[in-house]
Chains A and B, each alone.
Chain A
Amino acid sequence: MSQGTAAVPQVSLGRRISRFMSDQPLVPLIILLIALVIVLQILRPGIVNERWAANTVKFAIPLAILAGCQTMTMLTGGIDLSVGTVATMGAFIMVTQAAFHDPAVAILIALVPALIIGFVNGVGVGVFRVHPLIMTLGTSLIGMGCLLVYQRSVIATGTKVPEALAWLAIGTTYGFPNALLLFVPIAAFIIFTLNRTGFGRLLYALGDNEKAARLSGVIYWKVIVTLYVLSALLAGIAGLLFIGLIKSPSLSLAEPLVLPSVAAAVIGGTSIFGGRGGYAGTIVGALILQILTTLLTILQMPEGARRILFGLIVLLVTAIYLRIIENR
C-alpha cells in the first residue's frame, strides 16, 4: 500500500494531464474553444461581447442540430448525407405553404417529406443493407429533384416566413437567443436518448459490434429505421430554424452545412466507424466550427485561403483529438 502511494509522484505532470484529458474528452475541446475566443479577442479587440456571443450561438444551432443527426447515425457506423436536402425541403415547403396556410399547418406539411425521406433511408440501410453513404446520397438526389419540380408549381405564390419562426431564430431575450428555447430541449432529448434509454444503448451496441448485437436479439432494421426517421425529422426542424435565420429561401439553403455537420461530429469525438462518441462533444464541435468561420472572416483573407485554412484546421484538430483519446 505504501509503495502504491509512493509511486504516484513519479508519474510526470505531462502524463497526468494527458491521462486526465483522455478521461474527460470534453476538456481539451473546451480549452480549444476558449483559445479560439481569446485569439479572436486579440485579433479584433472588443469583438467578443454579448451580442457576438448571441450571434455565434444562433448560427451554430442549426449546424449543431444537423451534426446531431450525424452523431446518432455515425454511432451505428452510418452517416446521413441527406440532411442538407431534408432541411432545405422543410424550409422551402414551409415558406411557400405559409403563404396560404396557418404557420402551424405549414410546418406540419413541411415535415412530411422529411419523414418520408428518413423512412426510405431507414428501409434502404436497415432492410436492404445498402451502404448509408450511397443510400442517403441517392435519397438526397431524389429529394432535390422533387423540390425542383415543386418549386415550379409554387413559383407564383410567393413566400412568407412566419413571425413566430423569425422570432425564435433571430430574437434574443435578456441577451439569450430565443433559439435556445428549441435547442436546449432537443439537445437534452438527444443526450438523454443516447445515454439513458435502451434505444441509445442499441445504437452504441450496433456500432460497436453489429454481429454481437444481433446475436443478443437486437432487431437491426427496426433500430435503423427509427434512427433515420429521427435523424430526418431533426434535419427538417433544423431547416425550419435556419430559414427563420436566413430569411431568403433558396434551393441550396442548407447544402453548405452538410459537410461541416460531419466535421462537427468528428471534431466532437464521435468515431465515424461507430460505437464511440456523444452529443455533448458535437455541440462544442459545432461552436468551434462557427467561431473558426468568424475568425477566418475577420482575417480578411481571400476566400480561397480561408477554405484552405478551414480544411487544414479541421484535419489538425481531429488528428490531435484522436491522439488524446487513443492514449487511454
Chain B
Amino acid sequence: MTRFITRNGWVLGLLALLALLFVFTKAIQPFYGAGDFGSLARAVLPFAFAVAAQTIVVIAGGIDLSIASMMALTSVTAASMMNGASEEFALLVVPFVLVMGLLLGALNGLLIVVTRVPDIVVTLAMLFVFQGAALLVLEAPGGAAADWLKALITGTVQLPGLPEAITAWVPKALVLLVICLALVWIPLRLSGLDLSLYAIGSNPLAAFRSGVPVARTKILSYALGGLFGAMGGLSLTMSTGIGAPIPGPYLLASVAAVVLGGVALGGGRGGIIGPIVAVIILRLVRTDLTLLAVDPNVTAIIEGTIMVIVVMFGAYIALRGRSS
C-alpha cells in the first residue's frame, strides 16, 4: 500500500486536487450539475487527446511542437471530406483520418531519425508544414460533420440497470475519451512496447545496448502521438461541426499538462493518467474562474501563475528528493 502511494504520489495528489476543485465548484455554484459536467467533458476532449499525444512523445524522450497544427490539419481534412457527403461515408472518413494522423506522426519520427536534427527543430518545421497543408485543404473555417459523429459526444451513456441519476453523470465524451486512450495504451502495455518507450526516453544509449530498436521505437512514439493528434482533430470537428485551419492553443496546454501530470520533460518517467487528470484540472480552474465572474483576461494570468507555481513546486520537491 505504501509502495503504491509513494509510486503514484503525484497522480494521487492531482486526483485529490481535482476532487477539491469539484467541491469548490459546487460550493461557489450550487446549481453545478450533470449538464455542466457534460460540457466540461466535451471541452476537455480535444485538450485531453493533445495531452495524450504529447505524453507518449515526451515519455520517449522527444517533444512534439507540431501537435496543434496536426490537429488542425486532421480536423479540416475530416470536415471537408464529410462536407455534403452521406452519413455512411463518414464511416470511411474516420479511419482514413486516423491513419493519416498515424502516418504523419510516423513521418515526424522518421525525419528525426533520418536527419538526426533535434526533435524540437524537426517538429517546429513540421508545425509550419502541417499548418500550410491545413490552409491548402480549407482556406477558411468550413466543412461539415456527420450527425452520428456529433451525437457521439453529446448527451450521456444509458447503462442498463443504473438509475438515471447516476448515468446523467456519465457523459459520452468522457466514455469516448477513456475508450480511445485504452484502445491505444492497453495493447502497448500488453505487448511490452511501453517499456521500450520508457527505455529510449531515459537513456537511449543504454536502451540501444540492451537491444531496444531505438529508431523504430522513436518512430512508433511519434506515430502514436500522431494517432492521438488525429483523434483530437476529429473531436474538434465533432464538437464544432466544422474544421478550422488555424491551430488552437493546444501546444501550450499539452506541454503544461504533461509537466503538471508528473512526466519529466527529459523523458523516461511518468504515465498517461497524470497528464489527463492535470488537463481536466486546468479546464476546471477555467470554469471556476468564469463562475466566479473573474475577468477573462485575469483568467490567463491566474492560469499561468498556477502553472508556474505548481511546476516550481514539483521541481523543488524533485530537487529535495535527489539531494537527500
Q: Which residues of A contact B (CB under 8 A)?
A: 79, 120, 124, 128-131, 133-135, 137-146, 148-149, 152, 259, 262-263, 266, 271-273, 302-312, 314-315, 318-319, 322
For residue B178, CB closer than 8 A to chain A, the reply is no
Known: A146-B301, A263-B124. A307 touches B129 (CB 8 A): yes
Could you say which residues of chain B place their CB within 8 Å of the CB of A311? Answer: 125-129, 131-132
**CB-CB contacts below 8 Å: B282-318 with A:** 295, 297-305, 307-308, 311-312, 315-316, 318
Known: A130-B312, A131-B259, A315-B115. A272 touches B135 (CB 8 A): no
A216 to B316, CA, bound (A): 24
Q: Which of A143, A262, A303, A305 contacts B124 (CB 8 A)?
A: A262
For residue B118, CB closer than 8 A to chain A, the reply is yes
Known: A131-B265, A137-B252. A304 touches B136 (CB 8 A): yes
For residue B53, CB closer than 8 A to chain A, the reply is no
**CB-CB contacts below 8 Å: B58-108 with A:** 63, 65
A133 to B258, CA, bound (A): 12
14 A-B residue pairings within 8 Å (CB atoms)? A124-B308, A128-B315, A130-B315, A131-B311, A137-B255, A138-B308, A145-B297, A262-B120, A262-B121, A307-B129, A308-B136, A312-B125, A314-B125, A322-B116
Q: Which of A141, A148, A319 contacts B117 (CB 8 A)?
A: A319
Q: Does B298 contact A128, Cβ atoms closer than 8 Å?
A: no
Q: Which of B116, B132, B265, B302 contacts A308 (CB 8 A)?
A: B132
Known: A304-B132, A307-B135, A308-B128. A139 touches B304 (CB 8 A): yes
Q: Which of B121, B127, B131, B295 contacts A272 (CB 8 A)?
A: B121
Interface size, B (range): 35 or more
A-B contact count (CB 8 A): 150
For residue B168, CB closer than 8 A to chain A, the reply is no
Q: Which of B121, B127, B139 contacts A266 (CB 8 A)?
A: B121
Interface string of B181-219 (1 = CB under 8 A from A): 000000000000000000000000000000000000000
A78 to B34, CA, bound (A): 44
A79 to B135, CA, bound (A): 29
Q: Which residues of B contact A (CB under 8 A)?
A: 63, 65, 111, 115-118, 120-122, 124-129, 131-137, 139, 245, 252, 255-256, 259, 265-266, 295, 297-305, 307-308, 311-312, 315-316, 318-319
A302 to B121, CA, bound (A): 24
Q: Does B128 contact A310, Cβ atoms closer than 8 Å?
A: yes
A92 to B276, CA, bound (A): 36
A260 to B226, CA, bound (A): 23
A304 to B129, CA, bound (A): 8
Q: Does B135 contact A141, Cβ atoms closer than 8 Å?
A: no
Could you say which residues of chain B place their CB within 8 Å of the CB of A303? Answer: 132, 135
Known: A130-B311, A138-B256. A315 touches B135 (CB 8 A): no
A79 to B124, CA, bound (A): 14
Could you say which residues of chain B place their CB within 8 Å of the CB of A129? Answer: 315-316, 318-319
Q: Does A133 contact B255, Cβ atoms closer than 8 Å?
A: yes
Q: Does B132 contact A134, Cβ atoms closer than 8 Å?
A: no
Could you say which residues of chain A place their CB within 8 Å of the CB of B127? Answer: 259, 311
Q: Does A124 contact B131, Cβ atoms closer than 8 Å?
A: no
Known: A266-B121, A315-B111. A138 touches B304 (CB 8 A): yes
Could you say which residues of chain B place their CB within 8 Å of the CB of A131? Answer: 259, 265-266, 311, 315
A148 to B302, CA, bound (A): 13
A40 to B186, CA, bound (A): 53
A308 to B129, CA, bound (A): 4
A262 to B301, CA, bound (A): 25
A314 to B252, CA, bound (A): 22
Known: A134-B256, A135-B311, A145-B298. A315 touches B131 (CB 8 A): no
